[in-house]
Homo-oligomer: A and B are copies of this chain.
Amino acid sequence: MGYDKSDELAINTIRVLAIDATIKSNSGHPGAPMGMAPVAHVLWKKFMTFNPKNPDWLNRDRFVLSNGHACMLQYTMLHLYKYAISMDDMKTFRQVDSILPGHPEAHDTPGIEVTTGPLGQGFANAVGLAIAQAHTGAVFNKPGFELVNNHTYMFFGDGCAMEGIASEAASTAGHLKLGNLIAIYDDNHISIDGDTKCAFTEDVSKRFEAYGWHVQHVEDGDHDLEGIEKAIQKAKDVTDKPSMIKLTTTIGFGSKLQGTGGVHGNPLKKDDAAQVKEKFGFDPEKSFVVPQEVYDSYAEHAAKGAAAEEEWNKLFEKYSSEHKTEAADLKRRLSKKLPEGWQEKLPIYSPKDPAIASRKLSETVLEKIHDVIPELLSGSADLTGSNNTRWKQAVDFQPPDLGIGEWSGRYLRYGVREHSMAGIMNGISAYGTLIPAGGTFLNFVSYAAGAVRLSSLSHQRVIYVATHDSIGLGEDGPTHQPIETLAHFRALPNMMVWRPADGNECSAAYYVALTSTGTPSILALTRQNLPQLEGSTIEKASKGGYVALEDKEAKITLVSTGSEVSICLEAVKYLAEHHQLKARVVSMPCTEVFDAQSKEYKLSVIPDGIASLSVEVMSTLGWEKYSHEQFGLNRFGASGPYLEVYKKFEFTPEGISKRAKATVEFWADVKPLRSPVNRAFQQLI
A residues contacting B by CB (< 8 A) are 25, 27-28, 68, 94-98, 101-103, 105, 115-119, 158-160, 162-168, 171-172, 174-175, 191-193, 197-207, 209-212, 380, 382-386, 396, 398, 402, 404, 413-417, 419-420, 443-444, 446-447, 449-450, 453-454, 456-457, 474-480, 483-484, 487-494, 619-622, 624-625, 628-630, 632-636, 638-641, 644-645, 648-650, 659, 662-663, 665-667, 669-672, 674, 676, 679-681, 683-685
Contact = CB atoms under 8 A, between A and B. Distances in A.
Contacts of A478: 101, 105, 457
Given A118-B480, A168-B163, A484-B492, A629 B679 contact: yes
Given A480-B118, A671-B670, A684-B649, A96 B207 contact: no
Contact of A492 (B95, B444, B457, B483): B483
Contacts of A193: 380, 382-385, 413
A624 B628 CA distance: 10
Question: Which 6 pairs, one residue from A and one from B, show the smallest C-beta to C-beta distance?
Answer: A164-B164, A624-B624, A96-B640, A102-B477, A666-B680, A487-B491
A108 to B, nearest CB: 9
A662 B681 contact: yes
Contacts of A684: 632-635, 649-650
Contacts of A665: 680
Given A159-B382, A202-B211, A203-B210, 10 more contacts: A28-B475, A96-B641, A97-B648, A101-B478, A103-B479, A164-B164, A167-B167, A199-B415, A493-B619, A659-B681
Contact of A625 (B96, B212, B480, B621): B621
Given A491-B484, A640-B95, A168 B175 contact: no
B200 A639 contact: no
Nearest to A620: B683
29 contacts: A94-B640, A95-B639, A96-B639, A101-B478, A101-B638, A117-B477, A118-B480, A164-B165, A164-B168, A164-B447, A175-B202, A192-B383, A207-B211, A209-B210, A419-B419, A419-B447, A446-B453, A454-B479, A457-B478, A483-B493, A493-B619, A493-B634, A494-B636, A622-B624, A630-B683, A635-B684, A659-B681, A670-B671, A670-B672
A296 to B, nearest CB: 32
A102 B162 contact: no
A385 B197 CA distance: 17
A483 B204 CA distance: 34
A186 to B, nearest CB: 13
Given A210-B207, A491-B484, A492-B483, A475 B382 contact: no
A446 B449 contact: yes
> Which residue, of A101, A166, A477, has the highest number of chain B Cβ atoms within 10 A?
A477
Contacts of A670: 670-672, 674
Nearest to A473: B102
B639 A94 contact: yes
Contact of A415 (B105, B162, B402, B685): B162
Contacts of A630: 683
A678 B666 CA distance: 10
Contacts of A635: 493-494, 684-685
Given A380-B193, A629-B681, A636-B457, A175 B199 contact: yes
A257 to B, nearest CB: 14
B639 A475 contact: no
A489 B419 CA distance: 19
A452 B610 CA distance: 39
A207 B168 CA distance: 12
A42 to B, nearest CB: 27
B619 A192 contact: no
A676 B98 CA distance: 40
Nearest to A592: B634
Contacts of A456: 636
Given A95-B641, A207-B211, A415 B168 contact: no
A162 B105 contact: no
B192 A639 contact: no
A153 to B, nearest CB: 21
A164 B479 contact: no
Contacts of A192: 382-386
Contacts of A638: 96-97, 101
Contacts of A667: 680
Contacts of A484: 453, 488-489, 491-493
> Which residue, of A116, A484, A648, A671, has the highest number of chain B Cβ atoms within 10 A?
A484
A669 B680 CA distance: 13
A102 B669 contact: no
Given A199-B175, A649-B684, A684-B634, A477 B101 contact: yes
Given A199-B175, A624-B676, A444 B118 contact: yes
Contact of A201 (B95, B174, B644): B174
A634 B488 CA distance: 13
A528 to B, nearest CB: 13
Contacts of A413: 193, 198-199
A417 B167 CA distance: 11
A447 to B, nearest CB: 5
A379 to B, nearest CB: 10
A648 B450 contact: no
Contact of A480 (B98, B102, B174, B175): B102
Nearest to A619: B491
> Which residue, of A211, A380, A493, has the highest number of chain B Cβ atoms within 10 A?
A493
A457 B479 contact: yes
Contacts of A119: 416
A477 B382 CA distance: 34
A633 B493 CA distance: 9
Contacts of A197: 402, 404
Nearest to A651: B684
> Which residue, of A164, A662, A670, has the highest number of chain B Cβ atoms within 10 A?
A164
Nearest to A456: B636
